[in-house]
Amino acid sequence: MQDSLINSSFKYCEDIAKKHYENFPVASLLLPKEKRKYVYAIYAFARAADDFADEEGILGGNEKRLALLDEWNDKLKECYRGKAYDPIFIALGITVRDNRIPIETLERLLKAFRQDVVKQRYKSFDEVLDYCTNSANPVGRLVLMIFGCIDTKFFKYSDKICTALQLTNFWQDVAVDLQKERVYLPEEDMKRFGYSYEMLWNKEYNENFKKLMGYEVTRTQKLFDEGRKLIEMCRQKSGLKKLSKELKLTWLGGTTILKKIKQIEYDVFNRRPEISTLNKISLFVRTRF
């Protein structure tokens, strides 16, 4: 395959990644340049699949969304056979080859996107955590694999951080998800704090909702705290020291969002907590030292 085609494919993925900034950077300058392109490729693959699951106005509705995800999965399998024509899969093919990434890890992401199409309610927190095992945890593991780490001890703490990031995004985007008719707040917790689906649809901001959100934010912070050990583990391991700074930046980004949710007294209906440009600069500086 021509170098120019490979380079343009990675550049295509990089452009996709740089158009989207969520609670944490996608391959920031803290990562070695030679590693960034692999992260961009994985992000572009997941971003496109996520768009299939979320895209409004798709003719055929859920059936068409699932068909698009199945087609994306077929392209992934072809990619592993060395057949790729889409720039995303050209870059991804090089990425999985160079880093020996098993297809199952990427297919777990697609499983989560399919679940988003067919499942809009979660009865328990355990159900939400189960969703995170496919939607978030593979991402951290993929990044570790890019750095040559396949240690289950590292995966364990990575999973905690990634789950916490996913949960943070849920609490941050309660109002956004309502527009998609999705509710990630566990039904058992809503009942515990006397908050109903009717209140949620009406976006009723009351003491019950504040207590519910406070409960979710507190246990999400606990997951962040448990996962923080990964940063130090990477800092002490040869070959992962540079990754530790990226992980610290990611960790700080997620916990900052939780703090912002608290600062607005959990009123995510009327204001979406976000990391400002000044916050980003501050977090980057804190990560460097």
Residues 99-128 pLDDT 10s: 999 999 999 999 999 999 999 999 999 999
SS3 206: coil
Chain centre to alpha carbon of residue 160: 12
Which residue ranges form the domains of the chain, and what is each CATH number?
1-118 (1.10.600.10), 120-289 (1.10.600.10)
Q: How confident is the model at residue 22 (pLDDT cuts 50, 70, 90)?
A: low
Look at residue 23 in the predicted model and tell me its pLDDT.
43
Residues 289 and 286: their CA atoms lie apart, in Å, by 6
Most confident listed range (9-18, 32-41, 71-80): 71-80
The pTM score is: 0.91
pLDDT band at 153 (very low <50, low <70, confident <90, very high): very high
**How many C-beta atoms lie closer than 10 Å to residue 262's C-beta?**
15
- C-alpha to C-alpha distance for 220 and 228, rounded to whole angstroms: 13
pLDDT digits (tens, 9 = 90+) for 195-205: 999 999 999 99
Q: Is the pLDDT of residue 289 over 90?
A: no
Q: What is the pLDDT of residue 59?
A: 55
Among 16-25, 48-57, 178-187, top mean pLDDT goes to 178-187
Q: Alpha carbon of 48 to those of 23, 54, 63, 86: distances in Å?
A: 18, 10, 17, 12
Compute the average pLDDT of residues 173-198. 96
Give residue 195's pLDDT.
98
The yes-or-no verdict on residue 87 having pLDDT over 80 is yes
Contacts for 59 with CB less than 8 Å, ≥ 6 apart: none
pLDDT at 33 over 90: no
| Start-end of H helices in the chain | 3-18, 33-54, 61-80, 87-99, 103-118, 125-135, 137-146, 152-172, 174-179, 187-192, 197-201, 207-227, 229-236, 241-263, 277-288
Amino acid at 227: G
Q: What is the DSSP string of 230-253?
A: HHHHHHHSTT-HHHHHHHHHHHHH
Q: Cβ-count burial of 160 within 10 angstroms (0-12 exposed, 13-18 middle, 19+ buried)?
A: buried
Q: What is the CA radius of gyration of the chain?
A: 19
% of the chain with per-residue pLDDT over 70: 89
Confidence (pLDDT) at 212:
98
pLDDT band of 80, cuts 50, 70, 90: very high
Rounded mean pLDDT, 204-229: 98
